[in-house]
Amino acid sequence: MTDTKFFADDHETWGHKWGYKDSGFILNDDRTVIMTGSRYELCGAKMPDFIPYIEEVLDIKINPDDRLKEIGNKLVNPPNINESFLTAVENKFPADRFSFKDEDRLVHSHGQTTSEEVYKILYNCIDRTVDMVFYLESDDETIQLINLASEYNVCLVPFGGGTSVSSALKIPASEMRMVVSVDLRRMNKVEWINEKDRRISVQAGITGSALEDWLGERGFCMGHEPDSVELSTLGGWIATNASGMKKNKYGNIEDIVENVTMITPKGIIEQIEPLTRASIGFKPQNILFGSEGNLGIITKAVLKIHQKPEVKKYNSAVFKNWEAGVEFLYDLSRTNFIPSSVRFVDNLQFRFGQALKPRTEGLKKIKGDIEKFFVLNIKGFKADEMCVATFVMEGTGGEVAYQEKNILALAKQHGGLVGGSGNGKRGYMLTYAIAYVRDFLTDFHIIGETMETTVPWSKIHDVCQAAKNILFELHAKHGIPGKPYISYRIPQIYHTGVCIYFMLGMNVKGIPHSEDLFGGIEHSIRRAIMDHGGSVSHHHGIGKLRKDFMVDTLSDSSIELIRNMKKSHDAGNVFGIRNGIFAD
């Protein structure tokens, strides 16, 4: 068993906000914006166009002196302690395995859902906190803890990176028992690696960045890169059936994992050995993908790994409008040169990316002005219509050269202009830094969220238009100031359709219970998306946020099958977090 570096603890991260304490956007006196720290390419550079962009798209004026004040002493309800359970825990485990500290309990009682969790915890309060936090360090401890919870009728809630955006960690209102958050982040070790078979066995609490660093030092990679890769964990990816930005080459999480170990009140669910591919009847581990904490605790998994690519190259292409770019993606999906990652953003997100650029001077500014003149005047592109696709190509030198040559040729057939490697890399890496934007803007009374769906190729336009229409309709109906913001991108392409990732935002200054109103609007947008052919979720999962839509997703008999399985394997409802079809 090999130690990896430990997960960044709660003293390094913001805790309730997104990301690391050394990283974040701040507003300067001259109304420029800067990102602190050194983790991301945006860090350290002044961004003079950030605030003007936000003011334009939301039709507001940001007042630096008018900010929401975060609650200092956050309300934490007293722990509901099952004394018999606590005595048994104290007798079996070292004292460093569990905590009743208010801050520990609060951090473990929410994910990153904007309106339901983060907004309330920063400026109001959440309904309930967990009663104890337990830090697991082995499979044996997992078995002991589950046995004690079963014996003393205690509810256990698995906790990974805390990055859920589906209210999956919200304590059910109907849960009256002592609730224990089971933190797996100390279980972050590599148990073994088989370089010949290109397999690795890893504990579930490891983060994506820690695993990739460990593999990279040995000449390998896994290739799973969700936007949350720095903070999210292997167990969380399996529990939510996650997807990464490079799924074209490496697959989604269900394609990467060969074996899962989950410990439940009835015992251990796993295959005896990882299987390359086998016809063995029902594969119980398939049920564990998307289980969202309802069945047990995922403690480890066997994963496919790959040699690190010899070459990694970025590029980009600019298209006249959204429709031209979508047609390019459709034709690309039918080829044999699909890159590791292709991402296509609409005009609003393209302009936002430009707004996050630092001011350029000298020769760089002159070159940029010439390029802009060429695109807008010679080629006839319009600044408020053009969109951009970014590409990440990985493999041997020959493979990458083949992909790039054919991708750019196809883009030109659709009227696209080559944007260059610099823009391609910047567009890809921007994903990690942009997650901090939400918390920065919230201080200025702007509430925002992301939502994603899968859509057939034939219904992309319908879904995008439906989401936009319902947002503008409800924004006007509720008299919300300014204009609403909705932009979208396609970060994944498939044989039959795409993933669409929406970004929403609005100014809620002066709106009472604005987080609840925003949550209701988001729910209505999800309804419109599904009514026009979209799915309930592509990779964020169901949690409690999207529970109402499951009856439109699974047949009654399918739901009954899953519920009966739960009753059989967890009769005492030890894992009572009630996500998805089990929600209150």
The set of catalytic residues is: 501
CA dihedral of 416, 342, 408, 384, whole degrees rounded to 10: 10
Tell me the residue length of the chain.
584
Rg of the chain (C-alpha set): 24
315, 270 contact by CB (below 8 A) = no
Q: Residue 219's CB: how many other CB atoms inside 10 A?
A: 11
204, 16 contact by CB (below 8 A) = no
Query: What residues pair up with 181 in beta bridges, in sequence order?
Result: 133, 157
**Phi, psi (rounded to 5 degrees) for 178:** -65, 135
Which residues neighbour 504 within 8 Å (Cβ) at sequence distance 6 or greater?
Answer: 448, 449, 450, 451, 471, 484, 485, 486, 522, 525
| DSSP codes joined into one string, 179-241 | EEEEE-TT---EEEEETTTTEEEEETT-BHHHHHHHHHTTTEE-----TTTTT-BHHHHHHHT
Q: Residue 417 corresponds to which tokens in the numbers above?
A: 């202009």
C-alpha dist (Å) from residue 287 to 182, 295, 566: 21, 10, 11
Q: Residue 264 corresponds to which tokens in the numbers above?
A: 């439940």
Label residue 406 exposed, middle or buried (CB < 10 Å: 0-12, 13-18, 19+): middle
Angle at the Cα of 29 from the Cα atoms of 27 and 30, rounded to 5 degrees: 95
Q: What stretches of 372-514 adopt beta strand conformation (E)?
A: 387-395, 417-418, 446-456, 485-493, 497-507
**3-state secondary structure at position 521:** helix
Q: Residue 402's CB: how many other CB atoms inside 10 A?
A: 15
CA gap 461, 427 in Å, rounded: 23
**3-state secondary structure at position 302:** strand
Q: Residue 584's CB: how many other CB atoms inside 10 A?
A: 9
CA gap 29, 57 in Å, rounded: 22
6, 320 contact by CB (below 8 A) = no
